[in-house]
Amino acid sequence: MLRIKDPRKTLPFYCNILGMRNWGTENDPDFSYHNGNKEPRGFGHIGIAVKDVYAACKRFEELGVQFVKKPDDGRMKGLAFIQDPDGYWIEIFNPGTV
């Protein structure tokens, strides 16, 4: 579960920029979410696997996405970190090169 400030900003980010789908579970009375504050505890960041990190980052730049780390920054080359509208870090990586 992600705690978000403004669904009008965050949902388009995840759906239109990252290609995710909103399944509408918020309207399903039988669906339940795990509280990340209970065991097993939550996460440090989200990871998205892509075929081409550089191509994905080029697209993110064109869409005005905020970067924490670009693929050639720092010692860990070939992976990137972007931020969603609420500041959550999202790792962009290719599983074959990590």
Residue 37 in any domain: the answer is no
Catalytic sites, residue numbers: 91
Contact 84/73 with Cβ under 8 angstroms?
Answer: no
Whether 39 is in a domain gets the answer: no
Residue 76, in any domain of the structure: yes
* Residue 89 maps to a domain: yes
Across 64-87, average pLDDT: 95
Query: DSSP letters along 2-59, please?
Result: ---S-HHHHHHIIIIIS------GGG-TT-----TTSSSP--S-EEEE-S-HHHHHHH
Establish if 36 belongs to a structural domain: no
Over the stretch 9-35, which tens digit does the pLDDT of each residue have? 999 999 999 999 888 777 788 877 666
Query: What's the CA gap between 52 and 79, in Å, rounded?
Result: 10
pLDDT digits (tens, 9 = 90+) for 79-96: 999 999 998 999 999 999
Q: For residue 40, what pLDDT band results from cuts at 50, 70 and 90?
A: confident
Residue 52 maps to a domain: yes
Taken in order 15, 93, 84, 46, the sign of the CA dihedral is: positive
